[in-house]
Every structure is written in structure tokens, then in C-alpha cells.
Amino acid sequence: MTYVSFPTGKAYDFTAIGRLCIDLNANEINRPMEETMTFTKYVGGSPANITIGMSRFGLKTAFIGKIADDQMGRFIADYLTRNHIDTSNVVTDKTGAVTGLAFTEIKSPTECSILMYRDNVADLRLTADEVQEELIAQSKVLLISGTALAQSPSREAVFQALNYAKKHGAVIVFDLDYRPYTWVSPEETAAYYNLAAEKCDIILGTREEFDMMERLEQNPEHSDNVTASKWFDYSARIVIIKHGKEGSIAYTKDGEGHKAKSFPAKVVKTFGAGDSYAAGFLYGVMQGWTLEKSMEFGSAAACIVISSHSCSDAMPTAEAVHDYIERCNRGEITAS
């Protein structure tokens, strides 16, 4: 059964818009940030990580975003180029804005947190008139991520991109990617998230992210089914609700719920799970696989990333994900 049809005859399989920043991941793990002395630098930002994942799977990808006019910005642009991601719509800021930094604390495999430095960041300075219509017209998929809706002018840039995607028939994916520190109030957050979600074909988020959008009174039982049903009255064709290591569930417009369990993993840190899951799942759906197989592929991709030190750099190839699934099926990988 095909739930989403992707347009053909486009130059790009996958384009994302939003955050490009830097992850500084603790080298001395299993201790609090106060005791961490050194960090390794990686490209970061959830939509960037997903695009790197899609590129590693061999898809033709592009990114729409804004980088600081400094060494960090150039590091990001260079990394994207080396990963075969088209950067023709990655704009360099000229106002003195800086690159967002995410310092990660790895206290234990299950206690991870991120300390964000996001004042005056370049990624939120992208303007609507900087979004290239032609690039979106040439893309099978446009992925938006919630954090880019947090402030103007990036918010308007995302809505402009959504308009172009609708006009040119791109499949629109919304990764909720809710990061409280970039928002002013829960009311404002829910309002913009809901406005954007109405226009999207595939919506992916955790239970907590959907709770934030619903603000509880609409769904006091936190029912995944109730959450998903609402979006089928708009544009949605698939709604995925992720539950960490408990797995994930995808709802489709026909009312079906498709479940995926997670695989065992030797977890180093949990962040990056959602980004690699999204890349793996979307890759599978674009190959025409069943939802179950696509979700399984996303879950295995997530295991590879959470067993590694980075998010972006650890994004696996398709062969590595297939191999991981086979090794799990042979019982060769057990949980940490």
C-alpha cells in the first residue's frame, strides 16, 4: 500500500530548511558538564543531521539555511559540500550573527542533556526572500523543522518555503524538533507549530512534542490515535509518534496504526536518535518500502548513531543499516 507518492523528474530527492550549527560533544563521558574539559566539534542542527543522513544513503540533497560569516560558518559549509549536499541556498549572514553551539553533556547513556548557546544566531536570520523557489520546485521532498519557526525572519522563511513546496508538489515533512529555549511562550509555540503542521504530508514527533502542540486539554489521555486523527483533516498522510526505546507508531489516513519496535544498542548517548530515525524512515518510504520496513530501517539507523559519539558524522550508509539489522536478527548485538 502506498501512502505517499513522490513527484518524479526533479533534480533533488530531499531538501531541508533550518538550523545549521555546531555540536560540541563531551569527550570525557559519563560525568557532568562541570567536570568535562574537552569536546569534539561536529556539524549539528537537527535538519542538518537529517540531510547528512539522507546524503549518506545516496540521495541527492540540498539545504536552505544561513551561516555566520566566520570560521564556524565556513566549517559547516565545507562539511556539507564534502557530504555532497548542495549549498547554493546556504546564505552567509552579513550582520555579525554567530553560529549556534550545542554543548552536550553525557552523564550516562540514559542521562544526556544539551546546553545551547543561541543568542543572535545566524540560522534564525534567514529571510523569506532568500529562499530560492527554483530549488524547492526541483525537490521531491521539503523537510521543515520546528525550531526554525521560533523567531522572525526565519519563521516567515519557513512559511515561504511551505508555499513554494505546495505550489510545486513537493512532499512536505515536518520534524517537530521542539527545543524550548528558542521560544518565548508555550502558547506562541503551539500556535505556530499547529499552523505549519496543517500544511504537511508527513509529521514526525515524540509524544512530548505532540503534547506541547495539543496543550493537554484536547487530549487528556495522551492518546496517539487522537493526536494523529486530527492531522488527517488537513494535509497529513502519515503521522509518526516516537517513544524512545519503546519504539514508534505510524498512523495513516485509513486509521491504521503501524508499530515498530526498537533494536538493541550499546548506547553512548541518546541524542541524535530522532534525526537518524527520521533519515532512515524517510529513505525507506522514498524507496517504496512498507511503513513497517521503513520504520525498522529508521530504528536501526538510530541505534548506530546512539552507539557513536557524534550525530552528523555517525550517520550510516544504507549498507551499514542493513548489516546492523542482520546482526540484530542473528542475536549478535545486545543492549548495553
Ligand X SMILES: Nc1ncnc2c1ncn2[C@@H]1O[C@H](COP(=O)(O)OP(=O)(O)OP(=O)(O)O)[C@@H](O)[C@H]1O
Q: Return residues touching ligand LN3RO5KU (CB under 6 A).
A: 19, 21, 23, 44-46, 49, 102, 114, 271-272, 274-275, 311
Does residue 83 contact residue 315 with C-beta atoms inside 8 Å? no
- Work out what residue 206 binds among ligand X, ligand LN3RO5KU, none; the CB cut-off runs from 5 to 8 Å by kind: ligand X
Q: How far is CA 201 from CA 238, 247, 286, in A?
A: 7, 22, 13
Nearest Cα neighbor of 276 from 233, 230, 308, 238 is 308
Q: Choose, by CB under 6 A, the member of 193, 242, 251, 333 that binds ligand X.
A: 242
Minimum separation from the CB atom of position 132 to ligand X (A):
28
Minimum separation from the CB atom of position 3 to ligand X (A):
19
Q: How many Cβ atoms sit within 10 Å of the Cβ of residue 216?
A: 10
Minimum separation from the CB atom of position 86 to ligand X (A):
25
Nearest Cα neighbor of 146 from 191, 88, 80 is 191
Residue whose Cβ sits closest to ligand LN3RO5KU: 44
Minimum separation from the CB atom of position 294 to ligand X (A):
12
Which CB atom, from 111 or from 134, has the smaller least distance to ligand X?
A: 111
**Rg, Å, the chain Cα set:** 19
Phi and psi torsions of 74, nearest 5°: -70, -35
The mark string for 23-42 relative to ligand X (x by CB under 6 A, - otherwise) is --------------------
Which CB atom, from 49 or from 219, has the smaller least distance to ligand LN3RO5KU?
A: 49
In angstroms, the CA 139 to CA 131 distance is 13
Q: Is 126 in the site for ligand X (CB under 6 A)?
A: no
Minimum separation from the CB atom of position 254 to ligand X (A):
22
Give the CA count within 13 Å in the CB-facing half-sphere of 238.
Answer: 28
Helices (H) and strands (E) in the chain, counts: 10, 13
In angstroms, the CA 150 to CA 146 distance is 7
Q: Choose, by CB under 6 A, the member of 245, 252, 268, 291 that binds ligand X.
A: 245
Residues of this chain that interact with ligand X (CB under 6 A) are: 206, 242-245, 247-248, 262-263, 265, 267, 270-275, 277, 299, 302-303, 306
